[in-house]
């Protein structure tokens, strides 16, 4: 009889954030072209809280450690632009990884920049392109990595708790 191999439990944190977008607009570029006058929109994000228990509305993030309320964690957040011929959006974001130490977060940040540099070089030589780039939203035909941010947050156990 075969025993089913059980997966290790998945640890999760729950991110509460607010996001706003500026509206891109069509302006008159002065050259008479109907296509060259689009302005990009911009995404602004404010990370409000990171929780060990699931609230009503949040984004869950899997982590490789057991989160405990009160501990500091470091969110590694690449910011990127995306778009196309008729406009785009800057400031897009993704939580790439949550680290336990600032040093680990800095190392992850540097690894993202290094990988992006390799991607840009490979983009010029499609025969060298690697498949795993497809999982990075800042690596694409119209996408560009803008920056990588590190946000220090304290894990809480209840959003909006009154003490």
DSSP 97-146: EEESSHHHHHHHHHHHHHHHHHHHHHHT-GGG--GGGGG-TTSSSS-EEE
Structure-token pair, residue 110: 């540097």
pLDDT of 5 reads 54
Residue 29 falls within a domain, yes or no? Answer: no
Mean pLDDT of 1-20: 69
Is residue 55 classed as helix, strand or coil in its secondary structure? coil
Q: Which domain holds residue 69?
A: 12-22+35-156
Residue 54 falls within a domain, yes or no? Answer: yes
Q: Which residues pair with 150 in a beta bridge?
A: 76
Return the number of other C-beta atoms located less than 10 Å from residue 129's C-beta: 12
Contact between residue 53 and residue 160 where contact means Cβ atoms under 8 Å apart? no
Instruction: State the DSSP H helix or E strand holding residue 61, giving kind and residue range, or none if neither.
Output: strand 59-63
Find all residues with CB under 8 Å of 105, minimum gap 6, and list them. 74, 75, 76, 97, 99, 150
Residue 30 falls within a domain, yes or no? Answer: no
Residue 3 falls within a domain, yes or no? Answer: no
d(CA 59, CA 70): 19
Mean pLDDT of 43-69: 82
Domain count, the chain: 1
Residue 51 falls within a domain, yes or no? Answer: yes
Residue 43 falls within a domain, yes or no? Answer: yes
Residue 6 falls within a domain, yes or no? Answer: no
Mean pLDDT of 126-147: 76
pLDDT of 41 reads 85
> Tens digit of pLDDT for each residue in 57-101?
567 888 989 888 999 999 999 999 998 777 788 999 999 999 999
Residue 27 falls within a domain, yes or no? Answer: no
Confidence of residue 163 (pLDDT cuts 50, 70, 90): very low
Torsion angle of C-alpha atoms 62, 68, 74, 77, degrees rounded to 10: 30
């Amino acid at each position: 009889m075969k025993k089913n191999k059980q997966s290790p439990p998945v640890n999760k944190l729950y991110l509460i954030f607010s996001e706003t977008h500026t509206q891109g607009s069509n302006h008159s570029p002065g050259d008479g072209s109907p296509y060259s006058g689009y302005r990009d929109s911009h995404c602004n994000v404010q990370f409000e809280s990171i929780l060990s228990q699931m609230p009503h509305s949040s984004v869950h993030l899997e982590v490789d450690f057991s989160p405990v309320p009160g501990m500091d964690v470091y969110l590694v957040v690449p910011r990127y632009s995306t778009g196309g011929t008729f406009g785009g959006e800057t400031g897009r974001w993704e939580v790439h990884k949550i680290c336990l130490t600032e040093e680990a977060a800095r190392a992850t940040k540097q690894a993202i920049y290094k990988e992006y540099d390799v991607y840009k070089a490979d983009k010029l030589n499609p025969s060298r392109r690697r498949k795993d780039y497809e999982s990075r939203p800042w690596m694409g035909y119209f996408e560009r990595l803008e920056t990588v941010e590190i946000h220090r947050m304290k894990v809480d156990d209840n959003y909006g708790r009154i003490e």
